[in-house]
Chains A and B, each alone.
Chain A
Amino acid sequence: MTEAIHPYLWDKSGAVDADVERLESLMSGLRYHPQPLAWERGIAQPKSRRFRVWRWTAVVAAAAMVLVAAALSIQSRFTWRPGEPWRVSALAGNPSIDKQAFSGAARLPIGQVLETDSQSRARLHVASLGIIDVEPGTRLRLVATTAKRHGLALDYGTISAHMWAPPFSLSIETESAAVFDLGCAFTLHAERGGYGTVHVTSGWIEFESADRRVLVPQGAEAVTRAGIGPGTPYFSDATPEFKLAIAQFDSHPDDAGARAAAVDRILSTARMRDAFTLLNLFHEVTPDARPQVLDRMAALVPIPSGFTRDDLLAMRQPALAAYWGAVHAALHLDNPKSWIMRWKDVLGD
């Protein structure tokens, strides 16, 4: 059924609706003003505004003098000379850098390829921020290393990273998604063709493609697929039935029937701890499936007081943020920003 609408509101035809015209005039100052695309910002810097640097600065400035020495020490750890090759050491067999096999210690410059065969393993030192163990049958490249940002491209294979650094210090591109560390430990596996998995053992990572982004906490994992990107994150101790249903949902983005059947199975096999997965799912399902997901989710973690079911179904941002907080609290998930507290997890060994 077509809604009745004033022609002026629809296409500016007919008699002017004075009310609409007044609002147009009032809001015209906020209208888009053509500006050239800032090509120079390019690829190397897309994460630079991810933090509010001034907030960190304010926190440091407010700290007591006794912390200054420690802060300076930490600062020196997190600063790296741009372009400096990374240290790498052979852990087993003879890994290679640009086809040149090595044993003992070596250096990996920007643009060069580190490869392990079926018998070899290597350890990369991520600037001065952490380590990455490179498992057998892996190929990766160092694509960027600057004062505060570092990037790898994992063509295929398996790596385990242990990072103690501010969020987004390290990014690892795979064929179908990129991992951004949020100060954490994780294992990333990538295959030729775009399939990949990430399993987080401490802290959080962000897993993203151009149009999809998921946060994966400690104890959880997510799959990425060619042409689809990161899937719905789930805890590794979820039941096999639940994991299978998630895979079926994620694998069929354009098949409404398959997705509906998968949602039914996901909801029927979800445990309390899987509320985190359902919260992600809530954003992915079609609007007509949202009530079904929300009702199951709310049975596991109640909707916070002050907000209603309708607020969430309308996807109102404050309600979603409050519910996100409620799920985090109920599942005892730590704050993604509290990386500095995780030093034991990533440096302890």
Chain B
Amino acid sequence: MSSADASFAAATDDRELVRAARDGDRAAYGRLYERYAPMVHGVLLSRIAPEHVDDLLQDVFLKAMTQLRSLRDDDHFGGWIVAIARNRAADHYRRTREDATPQEQLEAVPSAERSSASAEAAVVLAALQSLPEAYRETLTLRLVEGMTGPEIAALTGLTHDSVRVNLHRGMKQLRERLGQGEPAKESHD
């Protein structure tokens, strides 16, 4: 079991934290925040420019705090907060009309400039953001936030099979968009 898995296993049940937070217990809500902030960060980063992510992350959790009463199933805080994050990101996109689409951003970086690490990271992020929704989110959690497939499944509520498919197909499409193609050999589980 990884240390991350251990921390998940040791963590107080979401349901209890949600109930306590709904009763005004800030410490309980703080625990939920600590647990889910990396996931929400990844979900936002898969949709909007990095410089806006931290601000929206705060916005998502503060908004959710005021609306805990509307959470219908206390066991599903993860899926609920992700839905809020997606809405916030879509709202941000609609209002700001970020200057270029991910594909345009990807194409705008000249090949010669793709060599520096930061420019290369920007290219990879643009490629990630141009993937279909399910793939870009899961793959961002894996490659950027450093979560494993089982951790992603536990936090998002997706099944292991769904996460597995998203990672596999997403990685394949990411390689294509980055012009790397498929690796010569791939092992299977």
Q: Which A residues fall within an 8 A CB radius of B?
A: 2-7, 9-12, 14-15, 17, 19-20, 23-24, 26-32, 34-35, 37-39, 41-43, 46, 49-52, 176, 209-213, 227, 229, 314-318, 321
Contacts and interface: CB of A to CB of B under 8 A. Distances in A.
Contact of B121 (A17, A20, A30): A30
B28 to A, nearest CB: 12
A338 to B, nearest CB: 14
29 contacts: A3-B168, A5-B189, A7-B189, A9-B142, A9-B149, A20-B171, A23-B174, A26-B117, A26-B120, A27-B143, A28-B144, A28-B146, A29-B117, A31-B146, A34-B34, A35-B54, A37-B58, A37-B62, A39-B26, A41-B59, A46-B62, A52-B95, A52-B96, A210-B80, A210-B84, A211-B87, A213-B91, A317-B47, A318-B101
Contacts of B102: 317
Given A2-B161, A314-B133, 14 more contacts: A12-B148, A23-B124, A23-B143, A24-B146, A27-B121, A27-B143, A31-B144, A32-B57, A37-B29, A50-B95, A209-B67, A315-B133, A316-B132, A316-B133
Contact of A9 (B63, B68, B145, B171): B171
B158 interface: no
B91 to A, nearest CB: 7
Contacts of B41: 31-32
A14 to B, nearest CB: 7
B138 to A, nearest CB: 11
Contacts of B130: 316
Contacts of B188: 4-6
Given A19-B175, A35-B54, A3 B59 contact: no
A19 B47 contact: no
Most buried by B among A2, A5, A176: A5
Nearest to B89: A317
A43 B175 CA distance: 43
Interface class of chain A by DSSP: loop
Q: Which of A3, A20, A315 gathers the greatest number of chain B CB atoms within 10 Å?
A: A3
Given A4-B168, A27-B125, A213-B91, A38 B62 contact: yes
B73 to A, nearest CB: 10
A211 B88 CA distance: 9
Contacts of B83: 211
Contacts of B143: 20, 23-24, 27
B72 A32 contact: no
A232 to B, nearest CB: 15
B24 interface: no
Contacts of B187: 6-7, 14-15
